[in-house]
Structure 1
Amino acid sequence: MSLEYDDRESSSEAFAGALRDAINAKDVTLSWLQRQLKRRGNRVSMATLSYWRSGARRPEGVQSLAALADIEQLLGLEDDTLARLLPSTKRTGPLGPSQFPIDQEDIEQAVKDAYAALGAPYPDHSREVTTHSVTDVDADGNVSYCITRSVLQATSGTMTGTPFLELTPGTRTPAPTFRAVSGGRIAEAYSHAAGEVHGVLFELDAPLSAPDTTMVEWSVEYPPDYPPTRETGHAVARQCRELLVWVRFHPDARPDWCEERVETASGITTTPVSLNGQGSVHLIHRAFGPGVVELLWGYGPRRDAADQPG
């Protein structure tokens, strides 16, 4: 019996014991836990939960780890209380399909051109495990600044960089200003001739080999001659454990209406969103993608999206 095996075994037992203790302390059943997870979009079978509690199996892969994060919240535990007890694994977990998130062939071709110009493989050999995108809206009600933080995972081989792109389907724009905040540097910039795709090659601080993860953070600032834009969002080509889109409005530009627009392979859904007296709106999707999550807003009576600025 190797020392490596011993370490995995003891870690699995520690995880199972902590999970049992937390369930007992909360005085809930596995069926209750399963129902609560289902309401949050995490479909975990009773058998799987039982295996985790007994130590026969442990959570692996993005979907299971997303469920584990919810379990910690449901049981009143601090973040990563259970996750930190898991032994390390060299599995990426189920990757799911890689799919261009927007159903527009011309935009996908422009993105392919951008990847080729930046020297990156298409599709990219990575996925966003968790992404938080924060957009600031100025006093005129238009997008002014966006900062995004992601846990990035290599899905195969070793990667040294990845493209980050801004897409404006149907609208020609000047290039916004990309900045590397943390985790790497901007190695190269690119703008497609049509003006609907701009981006950069974000070179990582260190090479990343599958299935390891790293943290990256970048920002985008929009120049004064940028078309007035009253929508923002984030797109993922693979399933993301958690996607958060947070839009913060200037105190003088709180909108009269907002709506969430979600596009996936199943189609497009649009849902009204209320500010509830707050100065911001946040949209959270777990186990989401491939697809796009957007927030649109306006002032005065609601008009069709095609009539909105930008």
Structure 2
Amino acid sequence: MQMQDYSASGHGGDFAAALRTAIDARAVTLSWLRERLAANGNPVSGATLSYWRSGDRRPEGPQSLAAVEQLESLLHLDAGTLLSLIGPSQRVGPIGTPQYPLEQARLEQAVAETFTALGSPVMDPGRDVSTHAVTEVGADGFVISRTTRTILQCTSGTITHVPYLDLTPDQPVPAPIFSMVSGGRISGLHSHHTGEVHGAMFELERPLGPAQTTMIEWKLEFPSGYPGMRETGHGVARNARDLLLWTRFHPDALPSWIDEIEETPDGTIVTEQHLDGATTIHQVQRNWGPGMLLHRWGYDDRV
């Protein structure tokens, strides 16, 4: 179980102070509270109550919050007095060991060098909690743009900037056009000399502390004359709660075959997909990663 020190300041400190004041005002002991909570179906250990009172921990999860509601009644407080002081959850949740979602050591080195050039740690202290990546495919069957909307969470320390990369393994290309839609601004761009890795550094609107989240949305555009691509996807270096790919094809360029590809440290899985009369295809993965999720398509050219 992760422990955080909430006694210094913020909602956690307010909760502990209010709980101490209420206990003192009622002149009751923690043992008395523990016994009555258990009798009302909300068992909490004496140690946990002591942590709550001191501010070393704070209530997390439905059972603990139900106990706090009962504490308000036992301490003759108005409903919501303590609950309103707890603040948002500080739990990061399972994130796993960060890994590059890549199979090629050469490309992994290019990625590391691009992160360094952008001024970012090779493994930054952030993760994509939830990502929706929407790709538009033109009448020629090639990618026009990809818009990505992400809930970003800080896993440790403080985050003010976050890097994102566009990868084209074994296909050197010019830099695509990065633009920030919302949630920050672009503070730096870098293209690796191989032409297979292009990156942007996004400066967030506000710093993120441990377990805090924000939303950012950015766009990649591939202008006329850009080498045609019939593949799109998104990769995560840590476990993500959900990852959605939505690929939208021009009605005059519906592919004859589509593959969904999962690349993870355990290997590569290729699954054939079908439009079945639609013009779009989507795939969702939950509690997934590290890895890359891809859509690849073609027009009667499968070998």
Do the two structures share a fold, i.e. TM-score over 0.5? yes
Match for residue 109 of structure 2?
Answer: 109
Q: Which amino acid aligns with 1:184?
A: G
Q: Which amino acid aligns with 1:204?
A: L
CA change 1:7–1:267 in 2 (3 A) is farther
Displacement of 1:259 in angstroms is 1.1
CA change 1:212–1:263 in 2 (3 A) is same
Q: Which amino acid aligns with 1:4?
A: F
Secondary structure of the structure 2 residue equivalent to 1:148: strand
Q: Which amino acid aligns with 1:139?
A: A
Q: Which moved more, 1:170-179 or 1:198-207?
A: 198-207
Q: May I ask how many residue pairs the two structures share in their alignment?
A: 233
Supply the distance in 1 between the matched residues of 2:276 and 2:232 (Cα, whole angstroms): 20
CA change 1:276–1:7 in 2 (3 A) is farther
Contact 2:176 2:220 in 1 (8 A): yes
Map 1:154-303 onto structure 2 (within 5 A).
154-303=154-303
1:97 matched to 2:97? The reply is yes
Q: Which moved more, 1:293-302 or 1:238-247?
A: 293-302
Match for residue 141 of structure 2?
Answer: 141
Mark the runs of 5 or more structure 2 residues left unpaired by the alignment.
1-12, 20-60, 67-85
Contact 2:95 2:240 in 1 (8 A): no
Map 1:66-85 onto structure 2 (within 5 A).
none
Displacement of 1:225 in angstroms is 2.7
Contact 2:186 2:202 in 1 (8 A): yes
Q: Which of these two proteins has the greater Rg computed from alpha carbons?
A: 2
Displacement of 1:216 in angstroms is 0.3
Supply the distance in 1 between the matched residues of 2:94 and 2:284 (Cα, whole angstroms): 22
Supply the distance in 2 between the matched residues of 1:191 and 1:148 (Cα, whole angstroms): 20
Displacement of 1:223 in angstroms is 2.2
Match for residue 24 of structure 2?
Answer: none
CA change 1:137–1:7 in 2 (3 A) is farther
Secondary structure of the structure 2 residue equivalent to 1:107: helix
Supply the distance in 2 between the matched residues of 1:135 and 1:201 (Cα, whole angstroms): 21
CA change 1:188–1:244 in 2 (3 A) is same
Supply the distance in 1 between the matched residues of 2:258 and 2:99 (Cα, whole angstroms): 28
Q: Normalization by structure 1: what TM-score?
A: 0.71
Displacement of 1:121 in angstroms is 0.9
Match of 1:4 among 3, 15, 28: 15
CA change 1:292–1:3 in 2 (3 A) is same
What is the percentage of aligned positions where both structures have the same residue?
47
Displacement of 1:145 in angstroms is 0.5
Contact 1:174 1:225 in 2 (8 A): no
CA change 1:252–1:6 in 2 (3 A) is farther
Supply the distance in 1 between the matched residues of 2:18 and 2:150 (Cα, whole angstroms): 30
CA change 1:129–1:190 in 2 (3 A) is same
Supply the distance in 2 between the matched residues of 1:106 and 1:168 (Cα, whole angstroms): 13
Secondary structure of the structure 2 residue equivalent to 1:116: helix
Supply the distance in 2 between the matched residues of 1:56 and 1:193 (Cα, whole angstroms): 54
User: 1:87-122 CA deviation, whole Å, 9 max, x = no partner?
Assistant: 622221222110000111111111111111111111
Mark the runs of 5 or more structure 1 residues left unpaired by the alignment.
9-51, 59-85, 304-310
Contact 1:232 1:295 in 2 (8 A): yes
Displacement of 1:302 in angstroms is 2.6
Q: Which amino acid aligns with 2:123?
A: P
User: 1:180-214 CA deviation, whole Å, 9 max, x = no partner?
Assistant: 00000011110000100011111111111111000
